[in-house]
Amino acid sequence: MYPASSSGLENSFWEICGGDHDLTMNSNKLVDRVLNGFWILLGIGICVESIRMKLWSPAGPGSGFIPFLAGLLIGMIGFVLFLSDRAKDSEQGETEKFWENPIARNRVFYLLASLCFMAVLMQKLGFLLTSVLTTIFMIRVIEPRRWTTLILVSVVSCLSIFFLFKSLMQINLPKGFLGF
């Protein structure tokens, strides 16, 4: 009378109720939306708590400044993901699972390895050299570009971050054996 698989049961339920929904696709979308909502709420919570820790003091950035920026970033990314999920066409078919795709899996491992490389060698090589090398590698892994583009983007972005932390926020970053 009922199909053996649970998804068959769920789909039969929707057919009986008069709907032509595929519950597995709808539940995946629901999970995505709930997780995106979680990221939004987490970002808001981090921002609220970091405001209580003081964002700015007369001496410069307070103890809540960096957590506030992190919470803002987490909340904004969650909101963008929420909006992009809503904008997707509901007629799209099932996509391949992320971890079954070896290219996607390898990208994640390479990015994690590069962050570990950065954490281990930053004291020896310094912030600028380590971050430029890591950024070049990350961009190359995510989406290969011409070497001139890779080097230009990584140098400009790392120098911008260095200027932000060193000059504007007056936070000392690790200096390597080259002195910068």
Q: Where exactly are the structural domains of the chain?
A: 6-87, 98-168
Indicate the SS3 state at residue 143.
coil
pLDDT tens for each residue of 103-121:
777 888 888 888 888 888 8
Element (H, E) at 42: helix 23-52
pLDDT for 106: 82
- Measured from the Cβ of residue 15, the count of other Cβ atoms closer than 10 Å reads 11
In tens, the pLDDT along 22-70 reads 444 456 777 778 888 888 898 898 888 888 888 887 877 878 888 888 8
What confidence score (pLDDT) does residue 26 get? 57
- What percentage of the chain has pLDDT greater than the value 90? 3
Read off the pLDDT of residues 83-97 as tens digits, 9 standing for 90 and up: 887 766 454 555 555
CA distance 113 to 121: 12
Mean of per-residue pLDDT scores for the chain: 76
Q: How confident is the model at residue 152 (pLDDT cuts 50, 70, 90)?
A: very high
Provide the pLDDT for residue 180.
Answer: 63
pLDDT greater than 60 at residue 18: no
User: DSSP assignment, residue 55?
Assistant: S
What is the Cα–Cα distance from 138 to 141, expressed in whole angstroms? Answer: 5
How many Å from the N-terminal Cα to the C-terminal Cα in the chain? 73
